[in-house]
Each structure stands twice: as C-alpha cells, then as structure tokens.
Amino acid sequence: MTRFKMIQNIISATSEIRSMKIFVGILLLASSFAAAQKEPPLPKDLPPYGPEKPLATPSVKSATLDNGLNLWLVSEPGFPKVALTVAVRGGLAADPANLPGLSELLSKTIDQGTRARSAKQIAQELQAAGGDLSASANKDSVDVSSVVLSSKLDAAIAVLADILQNASFPDAEVTLAKRNLTDSLEQQEAEPRFLASRARDKVLFTDHPYHVTSPTRDSIAAANSANLREVFAQRFRPDQVILVAVGDFHNDKVLATLKSAFGSWKAPAKAPAAAIPAPPVTVDHAVYIVPRPGSVQTTIELATIGPKLGDPDYEVTQVANAIYGGAFSSRLTSNIREDKGYTYSPYSFLASYLKAREMISHADVRNEVTSPTLNEIEYELNRVATTTPTEEELSKAKRYLVGLEALRLQDRGSLANRLATLWVAGLPPEQIGVSGKKVSAATAAEVDAVGQKYFPAHRTAIIAVGEEKVVRDALSPFGLPFHTVQ
Amino acid sequence: MKLIVVKFCFSFLVAAAALSYPSYAEQWKAPTSMKKLPNGLIVVVSEDHSAPTFGLCISYGIGFRLEPEGRTGFAHLFEHMMFEGTPNAPKGVLDRVIEGGGGNNNGDTRYDHTEYIETAPISTLDPVLWIEADRLKTLDFSVKNLENQRNVVEEEVRVNVLNRPYGLFFAIDLPGKAFDTYPNAHNFYGDFHDLDAAKIEDVQKFYEQYYAPNNAVLAIVGDVQPEEIFAKVEKYFAAIPARSVPPRPKVDEPAQTAERRSAQTDKLAKVPALAVGYRMPPRHSPEALAAAVTGELLHNGQASRLYQALVKEKQVALSVDGGVNWPLGTPFEFNGPTLMTSFIVYPPNVTEDQLLAAFDANIRDLIDKGPSQQDVDRVVTKMRSDWYGNLENPIDRASALSHATLFDGNFDLVYQIPDDLAKVTAAQVRAFAAKYLVANNRTVINRVPAPKDRNQDATKQPGGAQ
C-alpha cells in the first residue's frame, strides 16, 4: 500500500572490463519517451534549497585485541539503543563445492545452541535485552547482528560472545533446520524475485563460486552438523572477525566488556583460507527464461558486471546509475512507470561483492507489456551509454547519493552494517567520506565515460521469469538467443 | 494572524516515575512541541540535532475504512494521485526537488490514515514544506495521470497479490471473513472492476472531502527549532482554508457469535499456510494494552510462544508471524475494528487439523496457566526496544508523532507507550486471553497449493480465493 518500494542496495564490484565499442541500441520500436527529457522549469515561487550543512562522517574508534579480534566502536550517546554487527570473512563463495549454500544453513543454526545455552535460552536472553539475532550468509561473509537496549548491552554481548566462540550445532537442531530450509526453499521458489536472482547469478558467474545464491535440495540433504562445525572452526576465528558497535555507550567501558567477553578466544595457528579469485567477465546478450507457469507478470532483469569497490570508476558508476534507474525521478522509473504505467516498482541497483559488482535493472510487468518493457529498458541503458546527462540530472544524482548516504548512516543498524562491509572489503571507516567526495566531484565527462563502458544494453544478460510461452512470443522479435535456466 | 498555541515541552529524561516498575533504565523522550493553526492544521515538532537532516510526515484522517462502496482500493489509488502534480508544480517536480535535494519520499495508505513522508538534508526543508502545502491547495486532476496511476496500482496489486504466493490472504481475505460490514471487510487493495470504474470526478470529490488542513497533522523531526518551524509552516500553510470534513461514521461491527472457517487454494504457493484472526477490543479499552502484549508474547521472534511450540517443539510449522493490527500497523495506530492475526506457513506433510490442534493447545495453556510475570517482562522489554526503534530515525518518529496526534490529539502518547506497557501484568494477559482468544471470536482460513493439473487459470481477483 505504499507508493513504491525502494531497494537500498548499494555498494561495490569488477575491473577486468574489456574495452567497449560504443553501441547504439538497435531498437525494435522507437521509444515515444525519447523527447521527454528536457525538464520543464521549476515553479517560480518554489523556495530554493537552504544553505548546506556539512554531513559529518562517523567517528570510529578502532581497536584490535591480542587475539586479533577487530573492534570498531561508534559512541552516539542519547538514544537508548545499540546496534551490534559481527562480520566473519568467508561466506557462500567459500563453501565447499560439494555443499553449495552451506553458509546459509550455518546462519540458520549458529544461534541454535552452545555448550552453555540452548536455542530457547539464547532467544529469550536476547529478547530480554530488547533484541533478536539476525544471521545472514552473503557471498563474502557471514553476518550476525542484533539491535538492543543500551541498558542491556552487557547481557547482549555475553550471548553474542558465547555464540561466536561456542556454537555447537546440536544434531536435533540441525536436522530441524535442514527440514525447514528445504521447505522454505520450496516456498522461495514460488517467488519470482528469488527465481530471478538465482538465475541471474548462475548466468553472470557461471562456474565461479559467486554463482551460488542459496543451497539446493541436494546440498541441504547432504549437509550435517559435522560439516557446520568444521566450517565454523575454520572461519570463526578472532583475526577474521570484526565486531562493530554503534550507539549509546562509552567507548572505554564497552571496550572493557568486549575484552573480557572475547579475550580468551584463540586464533588457530593455521593461516586463514585464501581469498577467492575474481570472476571472469563474459556476459552473453541473450534471453534466459525461468519458466513460471501461471505467472500473471513477467519479471525482467538485465544484468551485467560493473566496477568493484576500489576501482576508480566505482563512484561515478553510482552516479550514472542514479541518473539511469537508481532513484524515483530517474529515467527508468519516469519512462516505464510514470509515463507508460507498465510497472509498479522498477529500479536499477548495484550489488557489490568483494570481487565483483553486479549492475541490475529490474521490473515486474503484466504479461502483455513484456516486449515493450524490454525495449524501453534497452533504450534507457543505451541512452546512458551514448548521450550526456543534463546538468540538472547530474547535480540531482550527486546530491541524491550524498544525502541518502547521510540519511542511511544516521540509523545505528545501517551504520554498523555498512562499517562491517567495509572491513570485509579491507577498507578503513574513512572510506565513507572518501566515496562521498568522489561522488560529489563526478563530472559529466566521467559519467559519459562509465556510461559507454558499462551501460550498453548488449553487455547485459536478460533474465525473464514468467509464463514461458508469453516470454518467448513477446521477446522473439528481438532476435536474441533463448536459453532456459532454473 | 495569531496562532492558537498548544505547547508542551519535555526534557530528555524523566527518572522518578519509573522506579516502581521492573528494571527499565530507559525513559527516553525528545523535546517536542505542538501548535494548531487557525485553519485546523496541527503541527508537531521534535528536535534532534544529531544529524543535519529532517523527517516529515503529514497524515490525513482518511484511509481504506471510509472509502466509498463501489470504489474499493480508492483511498490508495488516490494516494498515488497526490504525487501526480498540481497546476503550480506539474507531475515530476516533487520527485525532482526532493531527490535533487538529497532526500527520499513516499506515501502510505492504511485503514484510518494516509501519510506522506519525506526525509532529506535540512537544506531541503523549505522546498518540501512548499510542496506539501501546494498539494493541499489543489491537484492537477488529470485524466491522463489517473489512467497512468490506475495501471501502476494494478501492477502493484499484481506484484503484491496476484503474482505472489499467499496473495496477502492473511491481510485481505481474513478481515473480509472476520468482519461483516463494508468499512472493515472490503478488499482495501481494490477489485480491478472498482479500480477501473474510478473517475476523475471521484478523485476530485475525495480530495475535497478529506484533504483539508483541519483533517491533517504535520510532524517534523530533526535538526530544527520549534519556533522557526512554526513560522515556516504558517508561512506556507496558513492561507489554505479549513473545509468541512464529513463526520466520521460508526464503523462498529455486529458481534461475532461463532467460529468462521474457510478454505482456499493457491496456484503459486508450494506449501500450505493458515491464517487465524481474533477480533480485538477497541484500542482505548482497558484490555488493549494486554492485547498488544499478548500479540507479541505469541508472535515476537524466536522466543515467542507460537514459534517455540509450533516450529520447535511440535514441528508442525515453518514460520509464524503476527500480532495485533498486523501486518498493516502497530497495536497502537488504528481507529476501528481490528484483529490479532497469526500467519503460519506449515510443511506439506502436516494437516490443518494437526496444526490447529497444536495452536489451540498453546492458547489453552495460556488461558489455563497464564504466562509467568518473567515472560511478560521479557516481552515488554522487547516491545519497548522495538518501539524505540520505531522512533530512531526522524522520518519514522515524525510518522509516529503524527499518527498519535491524528488519532488522539496527543503526541505524548508516543513517549508514554513504553511506560504503559511496563504496567501490564501476567494476570491481565491471562484474563485477556480467556475472554478474547476463544473459538467463537475467531476466523480461520486454510490455504493450500492448488493441484498441479488445474493450475493454468490465472487468479482474477486480489486475494485469490477460488
């Protein structure tokens, strides 16, 4: 019942982009939206923006315990909550090849018992601290987080410390989690967005470990407590872990609490697992159909690889993306929602991993407009690749990204997660300010350059989740190869 | 013009009052003040100088419940029209200005209110106030834009209902079965027949009836000073005349006398699900707080009774969600009949009877033995934490302040809720459960995957019941 859902999913991506020839899309149908881009003047009595106040970057106190555990603390007194986020290096991409998605089972079972506490005790103790435990498996890390009342911080740290050092993966809990994960996989497979993202990563990353988004029925069936304990012992070692705390506490006091809770955690002598290589960049401009019988919409995604975090093009690509489809007033939304009414919530987003970044355009559209939607998305991608943004578009996109970052980082949980992600990528907290400056400094010429390099529609794979015949009939005029994926 | 001043000031900490309750250290309030303009617009301002940003929410006293018969889904369709421009600021200006100022905006329609929200760096406050005032003066009333947004809304219904497993049946179909009168029972997302029938004259009439300054509360939270904001709001809004708003009709329900059971099939879901809805006491009744706590005791997280009983011990469910006024709001923000809803997804090898027997056994146990006071205190701590979480970001706090003022004329309720919750006892929870969590006060819908062979006929209506 909301006007739109915003996907807030920005961060990093890949460098081995081959040089691109400039490609002007061969459009099947001329877009009626082409001329609509000269924006009308603003109302004459609209007041101007007021003076800018500097947006402060967070003040992070960092410490490393003797055992190598990394701590980043942000003291923000006043509001009575504290966000705790722990990130552990190694996630879905580090799972054993014969057990894809094992990290997800690990994230579902890590809070299901320790030597000292049962699953129920863990849940109740955290509830009594005002929190829940949230654990998730990403491609490069496993994250564990909780937001609690500041008056109960010590109790929450005690539970967290126990889980991180002593998770025991009791057989009965693992058996139940396996069964529930199998059934929820079944349930997820009914969701078009799940199907789209699973197919997308298979297509973009082929055999590289990044292609895994979730476990399979087989891998769930094959996994057991021993596998989980083994992975846990390998990855959950203090020198491969960051703990970020943001909120209402005094740094010295919380540091003392953390030292006493984590000080006896031993790092193994063995070196941690080696980093995975970057994925190859080979994307075929073809249609990959995920059949979904009875679907009343087609979910379309156009996906490709962009510059990863640390690449000089990283921030400028964010700016180009904000102009293209990363904001409500962007070209993509203006065209296929506000002008054509094809879709409720189209968007483009950049998904960042340690070794790659995905650039994704997404729209769920009624079956009848599947073909014109692909046409318009390709048109808008190629327009970014071949034309210069207006001055207003550029300044709007830059202010949007900088402002949004400030708004996001005033939320304790978002800031904690953001800092943990930077650490996993090997970057310091100051990166937040550095990125902001680069965004603000982006020029039209630079946006043009990344547009040419990363945005041509022919660089994308097209994922279409829907009624197979509808998709084939709608998209065959594009003359692209068809493949079926699951 | 002289402003009618209704002002409250609060300090950050109020310590003494809480000492008699369990160990709740936090007594958090932000300094907040309120004024009413002569045209009836109420303005609430809460200072928060932790970042140079603001959040704004303007709530109007109209939602699904009062949308006209034959126009299901109209309140929400109308919300979309509020973004389609005015004679002064054509379509597109609003998003250009707010996003170009580094901010975000959205709108949301619920049973008893419709809200418009923005958040941005403080430098964007003046243009945002201008835009909110501008769309309270008049709209574009463009037939073309109505056509466009009708399409967008129908796509929204497809993506959230028709093309999605379970199709929100626990939010749309359950009230439809549990209540008997149009305001509470109709499909708030809208039957396509009704959405298609909506005309620009309907948009105009709805706007004139309900979008009046005297039917709105504007709340602003952030790096602001109250006096400065009151002056700005007066500058932009004072000239908008008050209008007569239709008196609020009675929306009470005739009493429920027997359990209501029904079954549905779902052509997209792969595993079955059950929705259970108990009718709740009125929000201002003495039992309402116990209802809220019971809802969370049963549903809040892995420590909840239903999760522990159904997912962990009996292993007859995959997930449990729910609560009072769930999923369309908190137990504190509505103004008419509502349900305590449970939405339970369960494994295919479990039957509806097995699941419901386990569910009933847990409710029976709650009624027979009551919860321990320790259980209640723990859940209350979590609810206090969740409620503070709901006040953390300026845009969310603006929303909460605006709703409390709209429904009860008292923004301070937002800060009182944590303390009120702390007074709830185990005995009150037990008494509430014994009175309300009974079969003849509930509605149950079981929804199972459709047999594969009759799978091809796409669901035609929101809710998707066959």
Residues B207-255 have pLDDT tens digits of 999 999 999 999 999 999 999 999 999 999 999 999 999 999 999 999 9
Question: Cβ–Cβ contacts within 10 Å for residue A22, how many?
Answer: 11
* pLDDT of the residue at B464: 36
Q: Which domains does chain A have, with CATH numbers?
A: 61-262 (3.30.830.10), 281-484 (3.30.830.10)
Instruction: Report the share of chain A in percent with pLDDT over 90.
Output: 83
Closest CB from B99, B159, B378 relative to A127: B378
**Closest chain B C-alpha to A427 CA, distance in angstroms:** 24
- Give the confidence band of A234 by pLDDT, cuts at 50, 70, 90: very high
* pLDDT of the residue at A213: 96
**Closest chain B C-alpha to A57 CA, distance in angstroms:** 10
Q: Can you list the positions of beta strands (E) in A232-346?
A: 241-247, 287-291, 297-306
- In angstroms, the CA B257 to CA A121 distance is 40
Closest CB from B103, B223, B385 relative to A148: B385
**DSSP label of A366:** E
Closest CB from A80, A296, A329 relative to B162: A296
Predicted confidence (pLDDT) at residue B414 exceeds the cutoff of 70: yes
Query: What is the ipTM score, two decimals?
Result: 0.89
- In angstroms, the CA B398 to CA B411 distance is 10
Interface A-B, measured as beta-carbon pairs within 8 A, has a size of: 276
* pLDDT of the residue at A3: 67
* pLDDT of the residue at B11: 31
* pLDDT of the residue at A37: 52
* pLDDT of the residue at B257: 96
Q: Mean of the per-residue pLDDT values for chain A?
A: 91
Tokens (6 digits) for A406: 């400030």
Q: Which of A75, A168, A52 is nearest to A440 (CA)?
A: A52
Inspect the interface and report whether the beta carbons of A180 and B311 lie closer than 8 Å.
yes
* pLDDT of the residue at A54: 83
Tokens (6 digits) for A485: 């994926």
Which residues, 6 or more positions from B329, have their beta carbon under 8 angstroms from its beta carbon? Answer: B110, B111
Q: Which domains does chain B have, with CATH numbers?
A: 29-237 (3.30.830.10), 260-454 (3.30.830.10)
Q: What is the mean pLDDT of residues A335-352?
A: 92
Inspect the interface and report whether the beta carbons of A402 and B102 lie closer than 8 Å.
yes
Quote the radius of gyration of chain B (alpha carbons, Å): 23
Which contacts qualify for B48-52: CB closer than 8 Å, 24 or more apart? B48/B221, B48/B222, B48/B223, B48/B394, B48/B397, B49/B223, B50/A76, B50/A78, B50/A79, B50/A410, B51/A55, B51/A56, B51/A406, B51/A410, B51/B222, B51/B223, B52/A53, B52/A54, B52/A55, B52/A56, B52/A406, B52/B121, B52/B122, B52/B223
**In contact, A402 and A318? CB cutoff 8 Å:** no
**In contact, A411 and A391? CB cutoff 8 Å:** no
Inspect the interface and report whether the beta carbons of B148 and A179 lie closer than 8 Å.
no
**In contact, B310 and B344? CB cutoff 8 Å:** yes
- Give the confidence band of A38 by pLDDT, cuts at 50, 70, 90: low
Inspect the interface and report whether the beta carbons of B93 and A80 lie closer than 8 Å.
no
**Closest chain B C-alpha to A105 CA, distance in angstroms:** 15
Write out chain A residues lying below 8 Å of B300, CB-based.
Answer: 127
Write out chain A residues lying below 8 Å of B334, CB-based.
Answer: none
Provide the 3-class DSSP secondary structure of residue B195: helix
φ and ψ at residue A49, rounded to 5 degrees = -60, 145
pTM of the predicted model as reported, rounded to 2 decimal places = 0.91
Closest CB from B93, B164, B189 relative to A43: B93
- pLDDT per residue over A9-25, tens digit each? 222 222 222 222 223 33
Question: Cβ–Cβ contacts within 10 Å for residue B198, how many?
Answer: 24
Write out chain A residues lying below 8 Å of B271, CB-based.
Answer: 183, 186-187
**Residue with more model confidence, A69 or B18:** A69
Inspect the interface and report whether the beta carbons of B155 and A364 lie closer than 8 Å.
yes
Which residues, 6 or more positions from A187, have their beta carbon under 8 angstroms from its beta carbon? Answer: B165, B269, B270, B271, B318, B345
